[in-house]
């Protein structure tokens, strides 16, 4: 009896499984019938023939190259020679093989779309109509092209010094241009707006009320980026990102390669080399910042003026970076890992342009007249990236650092280290 019941139960299970399979197959066939048939494999206006006839890369850019190179520069934020150099160096990295179904996009087109995206801030749907390349295709190759540019240029363009000679050269430039001896760079951070990543809560939500990642950077006296940290969450402050960075670790452990302490010009005491920061960072012998308390003396105000004047380079570097690569002024729609990749590419291109064409964007920079009065740069008149929240972390100023800043105060107010116009600047 039990054996008969078991056979019956097994038979019923088999029939139920067969019925379920038949129902699933029926539903699949119904859905397939209801699915709208694909109208075309490639939309007619996106075909290669139309692209060659009407697309910006094959028509407009060639016209600008031959007839109006200034407009070419306005279109891509670089002259044709720079575009050609990048294409020659990056092209092999982004070249793909043709398939039996379609021909691969040429590297020049992919590079042009990417550079236009970075320089104008145009979104993928807009670029799709300009260059006649499907937006899902653009979304796939833009990160690839940016990574190829970083791989090709990073060693040349963003190379933090490691030797005493290299750091000394930077310090000499700060002394020559900004009258701040022993300064080896200026440190600051900026917010880059992004769309809220899924399942991240308030991690990327910053004090300004939008979602962002943070670009923390060390800049030399000529507005070039020496070191960058990209991708800190928008809810973090400068100090939090810096405290977790490799830069701080190298500074703390004295493995960064700063020159040995020596006297400043006309000075009488050995002084460590340092970078310039703001009140978000703790005062250290390797990081000098202005006095922050109220009721400062004239000598302290002069010290603040001299340090802030040198630190102005990092503000200007961010300003001309964002004015050239205006995607950084928009809300970027990519995921944070792709945003990091794109921002690093923008910094690489910024440094390459500073190396190849050092005077090209000088009109954008803050200038000083013959009396050393500040003339704000053009970048300040337009939208710019937001400052990072200056929350002062657990960075208590060290005794040695306070003594060093006091020496700077005495030096900047002495005959050995003063500049003729500094008293007028604090009384203006």
pLDDT tens-digit profile of 108-122? 999 999 999 999 999
Each residue's pLDDT tens digit, 320-353: 999 999 999 999 999 999 999 999 999 999 999 9
21 found inside a domain: no
Rg, C-alpha atoms of the chain:
29
| 10 pLDDT higher than 70 | no
Range of the domain at 313: 164-427
Residues 201 and 303 in one domain: yes
pTM attached to this predicted model: 0.86
Residue 35 is predicted with a pLDDT of 57
The domain total for the chain is: 2
115 found inside a domain: yes
22 found inside a domain: no
**75 contacts 61 by C-beta, under 8 angstroms:** yes
Residues 307 and 344 in one domain: yes
Residues 384 and 251 in one domain: yes
- Does an H or E element contain 21, and which? helix 2-34
38 found inside a domain: no
Each residue's pLDDT tens digit, 82-94: 999 999 999 999 9
Residues 142 and 187 in one domain: no
Phi-psi region of 12 (alpha: psi -120 to 50; beta: other; left: phi over 0): alpha
| Closest to 355 measured CA to CA, from 230, 225, 229, 228 | 225
> Last residue of a domain, which of 156, 181, 209?
156
Provide, for the chain, the percentages of residues in helix, strand and coil under a 3-state DSSP scheme, each rounded to the nearest 5: 55, 10, 35
| Closest to 80 measured CA to CA, from 90, 72, 89, 88 | 72
11 found inside a domain: no
Residues 289 and 369 in one domain: yes
Separation between Cα atoms, residue 96 and residue 131, nearest integer Å? 19
Separation between Cα atoms, residue 240 and residue 391, nearest integer Å? 9
Residues 186 and 114 in one domain: no
Residue 426 is predicted with a pLDDT of 87
> Last residue of a domain, which of 156, 183, 205?
156
pLDDT band at 270 (very low <50, low <70, confident <90, very high): very high
Phi, psi of 374 (to 5 degrees): -75, 130
Q: In sequence order, which residues have a C-beta less than 8 Å from that of residue 22 and are 6 or more positions away? A: none
Q: DSSP readout, 290-321?
A: ---SSS--HHHHHHHHHHHHHHHHHHHHHHHH
Residues 252 and 137 in one domain: no
| 275 pLDDT higher than 60 | yes
109 found inside a domain: yes
> Last residue of a domain, which of 156, 189, 217?
156
Share of the chain above pLDDT 70, in %: 88
Residues 123 and 211 in one domain: no
Residues 344 and 387 in one domain: yes
264-272 mean pLDDT: 93
Separation between Cα atoms, residue 327 and residue 343, nearest integer Å? 9
Q: In sequence order, which residues have a C-beta less than 8 Å from that of residue 131 and are 6 or more positions away? A: 51, 55, 56, 57, 109, 112, 113, 116, 138
């Amino acid at each position: 009896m039990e054996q008969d019941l078991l056979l019956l139960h097994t038979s019923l299970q088999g029939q139920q499984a067969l019925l379920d399979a038949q129902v699933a197959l029926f539903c699949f066939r119904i859905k397939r019938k209801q699915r709208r048939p694909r109208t075309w494999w490639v939309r007619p206006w996106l075909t290669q023939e139309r692209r060659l006839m009407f697309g910006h890369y094959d028509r407009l850019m060639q016209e600008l190259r031959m007839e109006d190179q200034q407009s070419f520069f306005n279109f891509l934020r670089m002259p044709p020679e720079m575009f050609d150099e990048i294409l020659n160096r990056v092209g092999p990295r982004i070249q793909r093989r043709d398939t039996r179904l379609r021909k691969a996009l040429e590297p020049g087109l992919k590079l042009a779309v990417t550079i236009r995206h970075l320089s104008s801030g145009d979104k993928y749907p807009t670029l799709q109509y300009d260059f006649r390349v499907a937006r899902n295709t653009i979304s796939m190759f833009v990160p690839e092209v940016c990574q190829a540019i970083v791989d090709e240029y990073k060693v040349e363009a963003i190379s933090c010094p490691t030797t005493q000679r290299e750091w000394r050269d930077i310090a000499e430039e700060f002394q020559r241009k900004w009258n701040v001896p022993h300064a080896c760079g200026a440190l600051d951070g900026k917010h880059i707006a992004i769309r809220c990543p899924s399942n991240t809560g308030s991690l990327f939500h910053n004090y300004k009320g939008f979602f962002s990642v943070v670009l923390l950077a060390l800049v030399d006296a000529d507005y070039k980026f020496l070191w960058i940290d990209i991708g800190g969450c928008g809810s973090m402050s400068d100090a939090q990102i810096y405290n977790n960075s490799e830069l701080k670790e190298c500074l703390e452990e004295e493995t960064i390669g700063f020159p040995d302490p020596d006297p400043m010009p006309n000075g009488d005491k050995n002084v460590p080399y340092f970078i310039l920061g703001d009140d978000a960072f703790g005062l250290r012998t390797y990081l000098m910042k202005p006095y922050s308390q109220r009721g400062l003396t004239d000598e302290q105000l002069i010290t603040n003026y001299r340090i802030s004047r040198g630190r102005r380079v990092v503000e200007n570097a961010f300003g001309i970076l964002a004015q050239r690569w205006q995607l950084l002024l928009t809300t970027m729609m990519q995921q944070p890992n792709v945003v990091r990749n794109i921002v690093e590419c923008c910094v690489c291109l910024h440094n390459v342009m500073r190396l190849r064409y050092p005077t090209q964007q000088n009109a954008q920079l803050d200038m000083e007249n013959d009396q050393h009065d500040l003339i704000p740069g053009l970048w300040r008149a337009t939208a710019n990236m937001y400052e990072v929240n200056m929350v002062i972390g657990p960075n208590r100023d060290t005794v040695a650092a306070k003594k060093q800043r006091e020496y700077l105060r005495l030096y900047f107010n002495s005959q050995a280290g003063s500049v003729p116009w500094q008293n007028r600047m604090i009384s203006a």
